[in-house]
Amino acid sequence: MSETIDLSLELISKPSVTPDDQGCQKIMTDRLAAIGFTIENLRFGEVDNFWARKGDASPVFAMAGHTDVVPTGPVEKWDVEPFKPAIIDGILYGRGAADMKGSLAAMVTACERFVKENPDHKGSIAFLITSDEEGPAADGTVKVIEHLENRNEKIDWCLVGEPSSTNKLGDVVKNGRRGSLSGSLTVHGRQGHVAYPHLAENPIHKCAPALAELSAEVWDQGNKFFPPTTFQISNIHAGTGANNVIPGELELLFNLRFSTEVTELELRNRFEAILDKYKLNYTLDWHLSGHPFLTPQGKLVESTCRAIKDICGYDTELSTAGGTSDGRFIAPTGAEVIELGPLNATIHQINEQVPAEDLDTLSAIYQRMMEYLLK
């Protein structure tokens, strides 16, 4: 057992389902305070966050992540109790092993070693940790960033410990993310009897051609960093459950994952233009989860790629695929942001797991990154 594995087990054993931190952050801040960090606990609403910093000079290298996890699902389907982590045949099982308590442990232990070996390092090291990443994300990282911006405290480089790896540790690093624009659409018709359709207006029939066009629409071609924008319907509902009633409304949820080739406003205008083309009577509520962001080649990307090559012996791939992360709140401040963490094959699943030795390797990569950036 290593320091990183021990700390991972300790964190995973806390049932910190969003937004209840369950003391995970205190475990981290106690260890960070012991090596010279100034701790600022920041609670917004029901969400615990902290900002920890060692040093008062620039550049600032921040490590960001979350202590909250998603619910376990049926506990009886797990091979181990999800909050009683266990290592079986070299595999660490437990909720949060990959997403992302293993990364948090690797960050802390990497920092402990780096500070011990480099007490007079350049710049500053910081931690931005929330318990509201898996939930609404309304009182977490976004509020901490607002707090820092209000006092003009800037992050230069940010490492987010989200599980980025696909087939082996470090094979993929996220240097950007697509934007996410969701909508709740209600198409209004007139309820009636199926035998008297002339007295009703079926919103399913009215909406179908528009949905077909929206599904076939080419929103953009993407670019060398981002795939083309995609539109997906995630839920659709209409009717009373009876087969002789024409429904009065159709309700639909959808999402657009978009590249830097289009803006939120362009997407909204084009989407609504298609609805209007078919003369639909509708109500549409939009929700923007985050704009796309990209960290180009620079000091942070270079240091990350070099660290992975040094420790793992192979090159990494830069990617912007996948869902959103809290990087979307940090990048707009001007910070360079990358995401590097364990294998993501089992995140949010029953029997979430990660090879235990990967966490030690991840800690070594994080330490090497700090050496390149701040030594």
Kindly report the number of other CB atoms within 10 A of residue 213's CB atom. 13
Residue among 179, 187, 329 nearest 265 (CA): 179
Annotated catalytic residues are 68, 133
Question: How far is it, in rounded angstroms, from Cα 297 to Cα 118?
Answer: 26
Provide the CA 256 distance to its chain's centre, in angstroms.
16
Question: Is the separation of the CB atoms in 164 and 358 below 8 Å?
Answer: no
Please give the sequence-ordered ranges of beta strands (E in DSSP) within the chain, or none if there are none: 38-44, 47-54, 60-66, 86-88, 91-93, 124-130, 157-160, 172-174, 176-177, 179-188, 192-193, 230-238, 245-246, 249-258, 282-290, 293-294, 317-319, 336-339, 353-355
Q: What is the C-alpha separation between 156 and 154, in angstroms, rounded?
A: 6
